[in-house]
Every structure is written in structure tokens, then in C-alpha cells.
Structure 1
Amino acid sequence: MSGPVAPPRRNVLRGIVLCAIGRREGLEWFGDTRHAFISSLLPLLLFPLLRAVLLPPGQSEVPRGTLLLATITVVLASAVLSHLMATWFRREPLWLRYATAVNWTTWVLQLAVLLAIVATAGLASAGLPPTVALIACFAAVGLYGLWLQWFLARHGLRLGPGRALLVVLAVNAGAAALVAVPEVALREAMLLNGPAPVPASGPFKT
């Protein structure tokens, strides 16, 4: 009599690589538990926090607190919105593995951005106008990112092509709105109220 069958081992790195090249069996290498999801989510939250703490002042045009809040908002909003879409399409039992895969494959896009920077420099040194090279490389990264999200929704949630595209559009639009709307509202309020008065200084201040 044979013993109990051991559960399959999870290999996140292998899953990332397979999904990055469009192999749907890569999804099987991610866990489908809450622990697996939280483990995939924590690096996405801790990395921007460390970057905000360690980044020297004045190294970014965007305030560190604003950048940190925007990044965390996008990460959490994407998870919430994708869960809503999975529930709407009656794919909630598949969501944990899908969301875990989405979180881990986000690092592929980070690598793609670095490669785009290198490619931009290479194309510019080869004679292509720097602006054209920059737009071309980052447009390619953007298209690849959208395709990867669609691929994960298509096979992770087992949706048709159209529904998978709807998930991608809804998640990205919703996350972008949550970041952009408060920023626009704050700027409008500052314009309406005008700049803050500068207090007078020196012995003749009133």
C-alpha cells in the first residue's frame, strides 16, 4: 500500500520564467494559499518603503512620501480590483494563485525596465535620436507588461480573451484613477487657495 502523495513543490523562480515567456504551465509553480499570496505581496510593499527611506533627499522630483503612497496604492488596489473581477466572473477559487503569480511576475517588468534603459543607450549610441530610442524601448516594455497581465488573467483565471482583456483594463484604469484623482484634486485645491503667504523676516516684519 503506497503512502500519501506529497504535495507538489513550488518553485517561484521557475514559475516566473515560464510565465514571462508565455508558458501557462508556469502558473502551476505558484501557491494558491493565503500564505503564498502574502509572501508574494510583502516584497512589493517593503521594497518601495526601503527606497523611500534610503533615497537621498533631492534625488527625485516626486516627494518620497507621495511616491511611496502611490506605489502602495497601486499594489493593493490591483489586488482588490482583480479580486472583484474574479468574483464577478465566478473565478474566485482561482484568484489566489492568479494574484500570487501577478505579484511575483511584477519583478519581470522591473528587469524589463532596466533592459530598456540599456537598450535606449545602445540605440542612441548607434545613431538613433535619444528621444525616439527612449519612446520605442519603453513602449515595448509597456506593451509587454499589458500582454503579461492579459496572459495571467487569461490562464490564471481561465477566462476567454475578451474577458481577460477586460480584467486588465479594469484593474489598470481603477488603480490609475485611485492615484491620479487625489493628486489632481490636491493641485486644484492649491490653485484655488493660492500660494501660502510667506512670513516676513528681519527686524521690520509686521
Structure 2
Amino acid sequence: MKRPLQRRGPKRMGGVVQGLLLIARGRPEGLDCFGATPDAFLAALSPWLAFLLVGLLMIMLREPSAVGFSLILLSLCALLLPPVLSHLMARFWERSAFWLRYATATAWCEWLVIVAYAASLLVVALLLKLGVPAPLAGITFVGLIACYWLWLHWFLAWRGLALGWWRAAILVALVVISTAVLCGLAQLLPPHVGMFAMQGTA
């Protein structure tokens, strides 16, 4: 398989923003705005790691607890699980040469989900103002976020890893299932299992 040309990643945040705007509109050329180097990937992950570090510091300063620390650890695992899993699948499908750019773009594109979250809130507020029942508006909100997240990650896998549409769908499904399994296992381990036992006897 012919390796793709390794272009230098953007040196300014403007390149990243341009890539996000293009990908948000389903434009595959937006992937070229992201670097394909380990440094570019780490730069994309660094804001999310900073959020986890701030959360850890807040827990330590307010009320240190095993539950709080385990939630931070779970969030870290959930952050790193998709790139690890996608790297394994990229190797399996002989797409390793595309992985770094894909992983970098995916980490940056998680910001688009936050924008979609805000837009969905506006839609729900409009629906409520029009008299739509709150439960239906809530289902609409969750559905909009879920559909956008699934499409975004499918699109990135399809274009970023040069996969067929069905392989891209398999990768997204594996990420969703593995994340759900990770969260489920966390609930069965202390201290969470002790919390559920206390709630059951309350």
C-alpha cells in the first residue's frame, strides 16, 4: 500500500479552526489542516488532559475521595480508549500510515460535539417554547447529540483512515461498545460497588 504524503501540520491555531469548520460541513479536505506527527497528536490531547488535571486538583482541594479519583481515572481511560482501539484496528486493516492524522483530527473534533451540544440546547428551548412536551424535547436533545457524534466519528474514520463505509461503522461501534463496557466494569469495582450497596439498603 502506498504511504500518503506526510505534510507538516499547521503551525497556528487558525489551521486547526479551518479544519474544524471544514469537517463540520462534511468536507474531507479539512483533514489536511491537521498534523500527522506525535507532537500534533499530543497537542490535540493536551486541552482534554488539562481539564482532567484541573478536575483532579479541585477534588484534592475540596474533598478528596476514592469516588472522585476513580471518576478522574475513568475519564482518562475513556479519553485514551478510542485512539488506542483505532490504532489497533488501523494496523489490522493496514491503515497505520493514516492513523496519526486521523487521531489528531478526532481529538480536535471533539470540540465540535460541544458546539453541537449548545446548538441542540437552542433547538430544545425552541421546542419547549412551541409547547412540545418536556420528555419529548429531552429525547430530541439526546437524539441530536448522539446522531451528530456518530456521524462525526464515522466520517472521520471513513475519510481519515480511508476505510469503506462499513468498516468505519464497525470502528465507531467498537468504540461505543468498549466505552460502555469500561463504564460498566467501573460500576462493579470499589468504591462504586459499595455506593450501590448502600443505596440498595437505604
Band the TM-score falls in, shorter-chain normalisation? 0.7 to 0.9
Structure 1 CA distance for aligned equivalents of residues 46 and 71 of structure 2: 17
Match in the other structure for 2:173:
169
How is 1:25-174 mapped onto 2 (pairs within 5 angstroms)? 25-51=29-55, 53-54=57-58, 64-174=68-178
| Number of equivalences | 184
Read off the aligned partner of 2:33 and give its amino acid letter.
W
Match in the other structure for 1:204:
none
Cα gap change, 1:48/1:115 in structure 2, threshold over 3 Å: closer, same or farther? farther
Q: How far does the alpha carbon of each residue in 1:16-69 deviate from its partner, in whole angstroms, 9 at most, with x for none?
A: 1111110000000000000000000111121233245458979xxxx5434322
Deviation of residue 151 (structure 1)?
0.3
Cα gap change, 1:66/1:189 in structure 2, threshold over 3 Å: closer, same or farther? closer
TM-score (norm 2): 0.81
Structure 1 CA distance for aligned equivalents of residues 9 and 74 of structure 2: 35
Deviation of residue 189 (structure 1)?
5.1
Read off the aligned partner of 1:15 and give its amino acid letter.
G
Calculate the aligned-residue CA RMSD, in Å: 2.5
Read off the aligned partner of 1:141 and give its amino acid letter.
I
Cα gap change, 1:186/1:9 in structure 2, threshold over 3 Å: closer, same or farther? closer
Partner residue of 1:178 out of 174, 178, 182? 182
Structure 1 CA distance for aligned equivalents of residues 55 and 192 of structure 2: 29
Task: Check conservation: 2:9, 2:35, Cα contact below 8 A.
Answer: no
Match in the other structure for 1:15:
19
Structure 2 CA distance for aligned equivalents of residues 57 and 135 of structure 1: 34
Structure 1 CA distance for aligned equivalents of residues 179 and 18 of structure 2: 28
Read off the aligned partner of 1:133 and give its amino acid letter.
A
Deviation of residue 101 (structure 1)?
0.4
Q: Percent identity?
A: 35
Mind listing any 5+ residue stretches in structure 1 that lack a counterpart? 1-6, 196-206
TM-score (norm 1): 0.80
Cα gap change, 1:87/1:9 in structure 2, threshold over 3 Å: closer, same or farther? closer
Task: Check conservation: 1:73, 1:179, Cα contact below 8 A.
Answer: no
Match in the other structure for 1:3:
none
Pick the structure with greater CA Rg.
Answer: 1
Read off the aligned partner of 1:29 and give its amino acid letter.
C
